[in-house]
Amino acid sequence: MKIILTGATGVLGSHIMYEILELFIETPNDANKLFIIARNNGKNSAIERINQLLSSDYTPKIIQDKGLTALNQYLEIIDLDSNAIEETFLEKTKGGYLIHSAGYVNLSTDEDLKEKIFDENVLLTKKLFSVFHPYIKKFIYIGTAFSSGVRKGLIANDFHNLDFKPEHRNAYEYAKFHSENFIAKECRAIGLPFQILRPSVIGGKMLGTENNYFIPKYMVFYLLAKFFYFTSQRKDKQEPVRFIINPDTGLNIIPVDYVAKVIVNTFERDDIEQLNIVNYNSFNMVQGLQLIMKEVGYTNFTLIPNHLDFQYKNTIEKLYYESIGKHLKPYFIADANEYDTTVLNSILKIPKLDNEDFTNLIRYAIDNDFQDIKV
């Protein structure tokens, strides 16, 4: 089996890489090959970055035990910044599955970032399709469940045969939806099989016994926890903070290792064209916020409904709402919705996420000072 993977140095992409390599180790075949398209980061080459991910304390034990030398039999890495994708490389990938996991996750609503967020997500997708479509047997695009846009009620897996145009909260949601549309349209035009797989908000590991709650980068709800954790460490008195929130809405959170396992268990299936990789229940936003603030030690807060005339009352409110709060607010005030998980649960049983699990995700982040793993 040949697989081409982008985004292997990212939060989800690294775990997809682990799952693919674990599959190769457990089902040996001389034809197994993982082609990784990555970038250098100015300090380390693409190969050095991948090697770091394959030999760290948080690398799955089965991969650590195999060792870098033995793993090289499965790997070929191309640095997208220093090499053009040459014909000789493309020929090697012929008949492979392309899993496009790379993306620029940014929930900013700032107008001056709109174009950058759109281009970072869409242009690479179009380039990959243009270069690889004559060689691959299937294009698997990793999107986001939030490309559904502002929706309420039950959300099905099909986002592209709707009788309405989705309204998106930010440039990231729109860019991912646009990329999905592009892939679906272009693949259908040439008869190339494709698949769109959409995780919701990604949380730390929760399957198995290794490195539970680990996540290499803290995003979305973690950033709120980080903001108030470090604010609570200040010696001066906690200023009161008001959270504008819809008490009925929730945040759909799914463990990163579960998402990766579903992707690796699904990409060969011809009967699944679109799939939301989500929890069967969204975690109530009020409940989650209360648990976060309890764990980070910030007690001086209240919950209020949305007000058009909302004015900051103090420095902390201003700092929060002009940084992470500005980008989270559209999700805090959204109508409640859920996803149809019938097909997903038949692929791999969805793990529960209760108060204890959510608290453990936050505690893990606190114990590690919210330090991202940089490769």
Mind listing the pLDDT tens digit for each residue in 280-327? Answer: 999 999 999 999 999 999 999 999 998 878 899 999 999 999 999 999
Query: Would residue 345 count as lying in a domain?
Result: no
In terms of domains, do 244 and 257 share one? Answer: no
In terms of domains, do 244 and 125 share one? Answer: no
DSSP string, 110-134: -HHHHHHHHHHHHHHHHHHHHHHTT
Query: Would residue 149 count as lying in a domain?
Result: yes
Q: Residue 85 pLDDT > 90, yes or no?
A: no
In terms of domains, do 76 and 148 share one? Answer: yes
Query: Would residue 344 count as lying in a domain?
Result: no
Q: Is 134 exposed, middle or buried (0-12, 13-18, 19+ CB in 10 A)?
A: exposed
- Look at residue 80 in the predicted model and tell me its pLDDT: 73
In terms of domains, do 314 and 363 share one? Answer: yes
Which tokens hold the place of 315?
Answer: 């420095």
Most trustworthy range by pLDDT among 70-84, 111-125, 265-279: 265-279
d(CA 293, CA 72): 45
Query: Would residue 57 count as lying in a domain?
Result: yes
- Look at residue 84 in the predicted model and tell me its pLDDT: 66
Query: Would residue 210 count as lying in a domain?
Result: no
For the chain, the C-alpha Rg in angstroms (whole number) is 21
Percent of the chain having pLDDT more than 90?
Answer: 85
The residue-averaged pLDDT of 151-156 equals: 94
Q: Do the strands 274-277 and 283-284 form a parallel or antiparallel pair, or are they unpaired? A: unpaired
Mean pLDDT of the chain: 94
- Look at residue 79 in the predicted model and tell me its pLDDT: 83
In terms of domains, do 291 and 197 share one? Answer: no
In terms of domains, do 139 and 20 share one? Answer: yes
Buried b (16+ CB within 10 A) or exposed e, 316-331: bbebbbeebbebbbeb
d(CA 76, CA 32): 11
Which tokens hold the place of 83?
Answer: 């090499």
In terms of domains, do 165 and 86 share one? Answer: yes
| CATH number reported for the structural domain that contains residue 76 in this entry | 3.40.50.720
- Look at residue 26 in the predicted model and tell me its pLDDT: 94
In terms of domains, do 93 and 110 share one? Answer: yes
Q: Do the strands 250-251 and 138-142 form a parallel or antiparallel pair, or are they unpaired? A: unpaired
Based on DSSP, count helices (H) and strands (E) in the chain, helices before strands: 14, 15
d(CA 135, CA 86): 13
- Look at residue 28 in the predicted model and tell me its pLDDT: 87
- Look at residue 235 in the predicted model and tell me its pLDDT: 72
- Look at residue 82 in the predicted model and tell me its pLDDT: 54
In terms of domains, do 239 and 158 share one? Answer: no
In terms of domains, do 9 and 120 share one? Answer: yes
Query: Would residue 373 count as lying in a domain?
Result: no
Query: What total number of domains does the chain contain?
Result: 2
- Contact of 147 with 173, CB cutoff 8 Å: yes
For residue 371, the Cα-to-chain-centroid distance in whole angstroms is 18
Domain that holds residue 321: 221-251+283-339+355-367
Single out the residue of 31, 51, 20 nearest to residue 93, CA to CA.
Answer: 31
Q: Residue 88 pLDDT > 60, yes or no?
A: yes
Q: Residue 40 pLDDT > 90, yes or no?
A: no
Buried b (16+ CB within 10 A) or exposed e, 366-375: eeeebeebeb
Single out the residue of 325, 370, 372 nearest to residue 108, CA to CA.
Answer: 325
Q: Residue 83 pLDDT > 80, yes or no?
A: no
Query: Would residue 227 count as lying in a domain?
Result: yes
Query: Would residue 187 count as lying in a domain?
Result: yes
269: left (phi over 0), alpha (psi -120 to 50) or beta: beta
Single out the residue of 374, 346, 340 nearest to residue 151, CA to CA.
Answer: 340
In terms of domains, do 173 and 308 share one? Answer: no
In terms of domains, do 192 and 46 share one? Answer: yes
